[in-house]
Chains A and B, each alone.
Chain A
Amino acid sequence: QSVLTQPPSVSAAPGQKVTISCSGSSSNIGNNYVSWFQQLPGTAPKLLIYENNKRPSGIPDRFSGFKSGTSATLGITGLQTGDEADYYCGTWDGSHMVFGGGTKLTVL
């Protein structure tokens, strides 16, 4: 059971937009930056968003991040079949890093 709560799954059609929520508390999201990671099947995780809303070079602007209070949200627009993956939020909590439980995105 993670201290960061994500929906287990979300789905949307190609071309549509989807959002994935990440809910925490003042000990983690409320006072720390949030990152988002994508893990495609059989591959290593990839950093999508850092410091709540910044994209590393090479990450398309279809991916966006937002944080408010003790919650964060990942947004993906123009969905593609290649976006089907597990998505994780992550942040610092006291003395260690924590991940959310993960959200499986299905592009119908």
Chain B
Amino acid sequence: EVQLLESGGGLIQPGGSLRLSCAASGFTFNNYAMSWVRRAPGKGLEWVSGIVGSGTRTFNADSVKGRFTISRDNSKETLHLQMNSLRSEDTAIYYCARGMGQERFVELDYWGQGTLVTVSS
């Protein structure tokens, strides 16, 4: 059974940093691209970052470029999102999601339960 379990969310002050993790199980992790998607309170889904299965290429939304870094450790089947220079508008539930193939970011077929990040002083 495919499982994705996020961790690392919490309350952080503006300008601070946080690292989210997503532990994957039930599938061959390095065969699939992975993404982070968020939903801010009262708003819709926003794709944040994606990384191909091999980890050699990453993609980011304009809203997080230069501040967030996605990475993966295929030996530990874990996805990460390093978030720096956090702003109040980054407050959201962050989901990790699996793509349907090595470089698939639109077909997100499995999702974690999400972890809440609150940026506030």
Contact = CB atoms under 8 A, between A and B. Distances in A.
Which residue of A32, A51, A90 has the most chain B CB atoms within 10 A of its CB atom?
A90
A82 to B, nearest CB: 19
A56 B47 contact: no
Interface of B: 35, 37, 39, 44-47, 50, 59-62, 95, 97, 100, 105-109, 111-114
The interface centre, meaning the residue of A45, A86, A91, A97 with most chain B CB atoms within 10 A of its CB, is A97
B23 to A, nearest CB: 15
A46 interface: yes
A34 to B, nearest CB: 8
Interface string A32-61: 111101010000111100110000100000
B106 A45 contact: no
The 3 closest A-B CB pairs, nearest first, are: A102-B44, A44-B111, A97-B47
A24 interface: no
30 contacts: A2-B44, A32-B106, A33-B106, A33-B107, A35-B106, A35-B108, A39-B39, A45-B45, A45-B95, A45-B97, A47-B108, A47-B109, A50-B109, A51-B107, A56-B109, A88-B45, A90-B45, A90-B47, A90-B106, A92-B105, A92-B106, A96-B50, A96-B61, A97-B35, A99-B44, A99-B46, A100-B44, A101-B44, A102-B44, A102-B45
A45 B46 CA distance: 12
Interface of A: 2, 32-35, 37, 39, 44-47, 50-51, 56, 86, 88, 90-92, 95-102
Contact of A96 (B39, B45, B47, B112): B47
A8 to B, nearest CB: 10
B107 A45 contact: no
A53 to B, nearest CB: 13
